[in-house]
Structure 1
Amino acid sequence: MRIRDWDKNLKVRLFGEALMNITFWMFFPFLTIYFADEFGKDKAGLLLIFSQVFSVFANLMGGYSADRFGRKRMMVLSAFGQGVSFLVFAFASSPWLDSPVLGFVCFALVGIFSSFYWPASQAMVADVVDEKDRSHVFAIFYTSINIAVVVGPILGAIFYVHYRFQLLIAAGLICMLLALILGKWTRETAPQQSYVLSEKGKWYSFLLKQVKDYGIIFRDKTFLLFITAGILAAQTFMQLDLLIPVYTNDFVKNQQLFKWGEWSFHVHGEQAFGILLSENGFLVALFTVSVTKMMLKYKERNVFILSSLTYAAAIIMFGQTQWIWGLILAMAVFTLGELMTAGLQQSFVSKIAPEQMRGQYFAAASLRFTIGKTIAPISIPLTVWIGYDWTFIILALLAVLSSFLYWLMFALPEKSRDN
C-alpha cells in the first residue's frame, strides 16, 4: 500500500509526528545521563521507575478514553499537554531557573501524556487500514520514528549541551503545532457507537465500566501471555535509553573510532552513545519495511521467539565489550531483534481486537512498554549493587524467558484445537 493511497488522517500524522519526534530525540537520549548526574545513579533509577508507574495507569485510561471519547480528541489533548510540559521543563532548565526536580516532574508528565496519545494513534491506524495492509503501515510509522532517532541524536550531540533550554522550547511549540494540525486536518475514526460520552449515573460508574472492560481483555490467556512476554523482552530493548548510555559514559574513554592518515577521530561516552543510537535508528529506518516483508513469510511464533533470543544475544555482547567497534556490532544484533517484530506486533493486536475495543486492546498491549519501562530503570542501581556483568546476564535471561512465553502463547491455541 503506497503512502499516496493512505487515508488523509495518516498522511497528516506521518508529517506532524515526524517533526515532533526529531525535536524530541535531540535531547531525550541524554536525559538519563542528566538525571544520573543530578540525582546519582541509585536515586535516578528509582525516580524513573516511579515516574513510569503513572504512565501505566495513564495508558489504560488512554485506551478507554480513545474508545469512549474518540481517537482524534485524545490525540489533540495529549499533544497539547506534552507541549505545555515541555515548555515548563524549558523554564526549569533556563537561565533564570535550574531545577532538576521540576524538570523531572515535567519529564514524568510528558510520559503520561504520551501514554494517552499512543493507544488512540494505534487504534486510528486499525480503523482506516485493511488488515492485509496494517503490518506495512505500522512499519512505515515505525520507520518514521527511527529516522528521527538517526537525525535527532546527531543534532542533539551538537546542540544539547549548550542549547538545552532552546531545544525544550522548540519541542513544546512543535507539540502544540501538532495539536493544532490534528485538530484542523484530521477526522474522527472511532466507530460511532463506541465513543458516546459516559452514561448518566454515579461519578465513578465510568471507572467501574473501564475495569470491567479490561477484565474481559485480561481473561484472554493468549493475550495475557503476549503482554507478559513483551514486558520481559522490554527489559532488554528499554536499556537503549537507560543502561547503555550510562555504560558507555562509564567505560568509553577517548577511544579511536577511525584513522585517516595522520587524522583520527576519538570518542568519549556521550559521543559513543550518540553513535550507537544513530546506528540503531539508521538501520531501523533503512530496513524496517524490507525486514517486515521478509518476516511475513514465516510463522509469527518463530519470529517472536527468535526476536527475544536475538535480544538476549545482543545484551550479552554489550556486557562483554567496552571497545567502540564491539559495541557497534552488538547494536547491529540488537537492532535485528527489534526489526523482526517491528510491524508484526501491532498487526497481531489489531487482528485479535474487537472493532469497538481497539483502543483498549492497544492500550493493554502497550503495557509491554509502560510496565516494561517502569521496571527497566532498576538496571541502573543494579549496576551499583551487583555490577555490570551480572546486570547484563540477568537481562539476557529475562529475554530467554520471554521467548519461552511466546512459544507457550502460540502452543495454547494449538492445544485447544487438538482437544
Structure 2
Amino acid sequence: MMKLREWDRNLKIRLLGEGMINVLFWMFFPFMAIYFSDSFGKGMAGLLLVLSQVFGVLANLVGGYCADKYGRKRMMLIAAIGEGMTFLLFAYANSPWLVSPVLTFLSFSVLGIFGSLYWPASHAMVADVVEEKDRNAVFAVFYTALNISVVVGPILGGIFFFQHRFGLLLTAAIVSFGVAFLIAAFIRETAPDQMEKKLVKDSSTKWQGFLKEQLKDYRVIVQDKVFLLFILAGIFVAQTFMQLDLLIAVHLSESVQEQTVSKLLDIRANGKEVFGWLIAENGLLVALLTVYMTTKMSRFNEKYVFIVSCLIYAISMVMFGYTTHVWILVLAMFVFTMGELMVVGIQEGFVSRLAPEHMRGQYFAAASLRFTIGRTIAPLAIPLTAVIGFPLTFSLISLLALVAALLYSIMFNIKEAKEEEFHHRVL
C-alpha cells in the first residue's frame, strides 16, 4: 500500500485543505434544513433544498467538462476563490448588520455550485498522479477524511451554527481563501498535455460552441454501455444508503419505543437516541476501517465485490424494517456499514480506469449522478410508508438493491466480453 509520505505533493496539500473545508462545511450543512424550515416553512424549505441541488447537478457536469478542457488546477482555484467570496456573502447575510434568509439561500445554492465545479477536477487529479494499483487506497484515505469531518463537523456545528454563525461563516471564508492560495502557489497542473494544446486552439470558442462541444462529449459517455450501467446500478443501490438520514431516521423515531439497553448499567433509550448511536457507530466504523477494507477488497474480483455489497445492503434493509430491538438495530447498522465499506474505495478507481485520460473530469462528474439522482429519488420512501408501512417499504428498497446487483452483473459481463474481444484483436 502507498504510504502518505510517498504521496504526490498535490495530494498532501489537498488532503489538508479539503479536510479543513469539509469540517467547516459539516458545521453548517446539517442545520440548513432547520434554518430554512424556520424561515420559510417546511414545504418551501423542501422545495428550496431540491432547487439548490438541481443547480449543483448542472454545475457538476459543467465542472467535469471544464476540468478536462481548461485543466484541474484552474477549475479548483476558481472554485476555491468563488467559495471564499460566497462565504463572505453568507456571513454578511447572518451578521450583526443584516439577517436575510433569502440571501442565505442564495449563498447556500452558490456554494453548492462552486463545490460541484471543484470535485470533478479534484477526483480527476487523483487519477492523473496516482498509479492504477494505488488509486483505490488513495481514494479511501480521502473518503475517510471526509467521514471524520461528517462526524466532527455536526458536533461543533451544534454549538457554533446557532450561537456564533457569523464567526463560523467568516472563518470558512478565510479558510477557503487560504486553500485557494495553496492551490495557486503549490499545486501543479496534472491534466494531460493535449488539454493544454486544446486550450490554445479553442480559447476563442463562443458559448454556443462550448455548449455544443460539451453535449458532444457527454453523448460519448452515454454511449459507453458499461459506464451507463454503472450509473444506473448506482442509482438503484443509492436508494439503500441514502435512507440513513431519511427512512431509517423516521422509522426509528416513530417505531422504536423507549427500551432497556443495558440492565446492568440501567441504560434506557428511545428511538431518537438510538438513531444518534447508530449514526455514531456508522461514522466510527467508516473512520477506522475504510482504508483497511479497501486494501482487502482490492484483492478480490471487482465484479463480486460490487454484487456482494448490494446483497449486504439488501440484507441490512430487511433487518432495519422488521425489528425495533436496539441490539439487532446495532447489528443491522454494522451489516449496512460493511456493505458501504466494501465499495467506497474501489468505486472511484473503477471510474478512473473506465475514463479516457482526456475525459476523466467528465467521467467523474457523470459518475456522481448516481448520488445526486439517487438523493433526489430517495425521499419518496417516506410518504410510501403511509401507504404500505415500514416493513414493506424497507423490503421494496431491499429489492432495488438486488436489481442493482443484477445490473452490476450485466455490466461486468459486457466489460469482460469487450476486453476479451480487444485481446483477440491484438493477438
Following superposition, the deviation at residue 272 of structure 1 comes to 4.9
After superposition, the Cα gap between the structure-2 partners of 1:399 and 1:185, relative to the gap in structure 1 and judged at 3 Å, is: same
Moved more, 147-156 or 17-26: 147-156
Q: Quick one: which amino acid aligns to residue 175 of structure 1?
A: S
Superposed CA RMSD in Å reads 3.0
Q: Of residues 240, 247, 254 in structure 1, which corresponds to 2:244? A: 240
Aligned to 1:230: 234
Given that residues 150 and 279 in structure 1 are in contact (C-alpha distance below 8 angstroms), is that contact kept between their aligned partners in structure 2? no
CA contact (8 A) 1:153 1:274 kept: no
Instruction: Evaluate the alpha carbon distance shift between residue 213 and residue 140 of structure 1 in structure 2; reply closer, same or farther with a 3 A threshold.
Output: same
Change (3 A) 1:128 1:329: same
Structure 2 equivalent of residue 55 of structure 1: 56
Query: Does residue 189 in structure 1 map to residue 190 in structure 2?
Result: yes
Runs (4+) of structure 1 exceeding 6 A deviation are: 252-256
Q: In the TM superposition, what is the alpha-carbon distance from 1:43 to its structure 2 partner?
A: 4.8
Q: Give the match's secondary structure for 1:343.
A: helix
CA deviation vs aligned residue, 1:174-209 (integer Å, no higher than 9, x gap) = 223222222222111111221415343443111111
Partner of 1:353: 355
More RCO (CA 8 Å, sep 6+):
1
Instruction: Label 1:265 to 1:19 Cα distance change in 2 as closer, same or farther (>3 A).
Output: farther
Deviation (angstroms), 1:291: 0.8
Query: Post-superposition shift, 1:106?
Result: 3.0
Residue 81 (str. 1) matches residue 97 (str. 2):
no
Alignment of 1:47-126 (within 5 A): 47-94=48-95, 99-126=100-127
Q: Tell me, which stretches of 5 or more residues in structure 1 are unaligned? A: none
Counterpart amino acid of residue 55 in structure 1: G
Q: Which has the larger radius of gyration?
A: 2
- Which residue is 2:396 aligned to? 394
Q: Quote the residue 1:328 is aligned against.
A: 330
CA–CA distance in 2 between the matches of 1:323 and 1:87? 47
Contact 1:48–1:374 (CA<8 Å) still a contact in 2?
A: no
Instruction: Give the deviation of 1:398 after TM superposition.
Output: 2.1
Q: CA deviation at 1:329?
A: 2.9
Q: How does 1:98-247 map to 2 (within 5 A)?
A: 99-195=100-196, 196=199, 198-247=202-251
Which letter maps to 2:143?
Y
In structure 2, C-alpha distance between the alignment counterparts of 1:104 and 1:175, rounded to whole Å? 19
Going from structure 1 to structure 2, the CA distance change for 1:26 and 1:182 (only over 3 Å counts) comes to same
How big is the shift at 1:51?
Answer: 2.4
What are the superposed Cα offsets for residues 304-356 of structure 1, whole Å, 9 maximum, x if unpaired? 11112222222333334455544433322221111111111111111121111
Conserved in 1, the CA contact under 8 Å of 2:76 and 2:117? yes
DSSP-derived class of the 2:27 partner: coil
C-alpha contact (below 8 Å) 1:119/1:363 kept by paired residues: yes
Task: String of CA shifts for 1:257-293, please: whole Å, max 9, x gaps.
Answer: 667757x575773x65544333222211111111112
Q: Tell me the residue number matched to 1:276.
A: 278
- Other structure's SS at 1:351 match: helix
TM norm structure 1: 0.88
Alignment length (residue pairs): 417
SS of the aligned residue for 1:26 comes to helix
DSSP-derived class of the 2:243 partner:
helix
Q: Is the 8 A contact 1:154 1:274 kept in 2?
A: no
1:304 counterpart residue number: 306
Task: Give, in whole Å, the separation in 2 of the partners of 1:249 and 1:87.
Answer: 37
Cα deviation 1:203-230 (Å, max 9, x = unaligned): 3111111111111111111111001111
Q: Which segment drifts farther, 137-146 or 102-111?
A: 102-111
Matched to 2:112, the amino acid is G
Moved more, 9-18 or 86-95: 86-95
Q: What does the per-residue CA deviation read over 1:64-99, in whole Å, with 9 as the maximum and x for residues that have no partner?
A: 100111111111221232333344444445566555
Q: TM-score under structure 2 normalisation?
A: 0.86
Secondary structure of the structure 2 residue equivalent to 1:316: helix
Q: Which amino acid aligns with 1:63?
A: G
What's the secondary structure of 2:314's corresponding residue? helix
Distance 1:375 1:320 in 2: 23
Structure 2 Cα separation of the partners of residues 157 and 257 of structure 1: 26
Aligned partners of 1:301 and 1:87: how far apart in 2?
A: 46
The change in CA–CA distance for 1:110 and 1:331 in structure 2 (over 3 A counts) is farther
Cα distance change, pair 261–280 in 1 and its aligned pair in 2 (3 A): closer
Percent of aligned positions that are identical: 56
| Separation in structure 2 between the aligned mates of residue 41 and residue 150 of structure 1, nearest angstrom | 26
